[in-house]
Amino acid sequence: MTEQNTTEGLENLNDNSSWGGKRVGAGRPAGSKDPETIEREKVIEAMKQRIAKSAEQLLNSQMNLAQGVQMLYCITTNEKGIRSKPELVTCQATIEEYLAGELEDKDKEYYFITTERPDNKALDSLFDRAFGKAQNNVDVTSGGKPIPIYGGATVSIQRHVSDAEDIQPTKEN
């Protein structure tokens, strides 16, 4: 392409031709949403409604995870003295009797409780929802250099220290 053709092409771009650019009445009306956006919003709303209907049950489940779960098992012994495998007790009346110390016939049935550890993530989630997420500050400006603190002291962060405090105050002269 010669320099003259290039110059003419640029001049043609600058004239007010009818192709390209903003046109009156073109495009989606202001404030309207894309059909995909509308569908996504419907799905999200349906999910919110379903979760809201089960909110109490979901909270109880999360509370169980946060507290840890206790399970009552029973081992029975038959007439020949053979013990069964532990069976999970699901009968609420039996569980209440065990907790009240009212179960009889200890020769043939042995009850014991086992627990699962609490789930720390569930605890954090419950506290975050109830009291707001704890503030988490990260220094991104010091570049690993000591940070001056009021009164002339500085705090230096040690990176590869084991069994020692990460923050060690030092006095600057």
Model pLDDT for residues 37-82, shown as the tens digit of each residue: 999 999 999 998 888 888 888 888 888 888 887 888 888 888 888 8
Cβ-proximal residues to 109 (8 Å cutoff; 6+ apart), any chain: 74, 75, 76, 77, 103
- The pTM assigned to this predicted structure is 0.38
Paired sense of beta strands 167-171 and 153-157, if any: antiparallel
Select from 65, 79, 70, 80 the least CA-distant residue to 112: 70
The token pair at 22 is 């903003």
Answer yes or no: is pLDDT of 105 > 70.
no
> Which residue from 59, 55, 30, 47 is spatially nearest to 122, judged by alpha carbons?
59
Domain residue limits, the chain: 36-68+116-136, 70-115, 137-173
